């Protein structure tokens, strides 16, 4: 409980922990912590995007299906057979040249 209060204290405008304890119920405390964590995640994603890094894309977090794994393996094998990197192969499949 003390850890939750310490984290919530960072997100709120309380004078001290006693004030926090007197004015917050557990459900309210949980909501504040959840919102604070989500806000920090968004800030981290934004800062990473500024540096060209992708964090936590929902589509990339989901595991591939068996069919998708087979298709990915086929693409990699085809690229290797042609002497291309995966990236070069993808571009040639789209009709683009990669320099």
pLDDT value, residue 65: 80
- Read off the pTM: 0.48
Question: HSE (CB half, 13 Å, CA atoms) of 8?
Answer: 25
Local mean pLDDT, 10-residue blocks, the chain (99 residues): 80 81 85 89 88 68 75 85 81 70
Long-range contacts of 21-30 (CB under 8 A, 24+ apart): 29/4, 29/5, 30/4
What is the structure's pLDDT at 57? 56
The pLDDT of residue 5: 81
- pLDDT at 97 (0 to 100): 67
pLDDT the model gives residue 61: 54
- Chain centroid to CA 43: how far? 11
Give the number of other Cβ atoms within 10 Å of residue 89's Cβ: 19
């Amino acid at each position: 409980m003390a850890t939750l209060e310490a984290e919530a204290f960072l997100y709120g405008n309380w004078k001290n922990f006693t004030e926090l304890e007197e004015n917050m119920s557990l459900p309210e405390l949980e909501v504040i912590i959840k919102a604070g964590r989500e806000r920090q995640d968004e800030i981290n994603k934004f800062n990473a995007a500024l540096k060209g890094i992708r964090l936590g894309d929902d589509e990339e977090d989901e595991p591939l299906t068996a069919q998708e794994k087979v298709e990915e393996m086929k693409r990699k094998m085809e690229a290797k057979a042609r002497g291309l990197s995966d990236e070069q192969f993808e571009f040639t499949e789209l009709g683009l040249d990669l320099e």
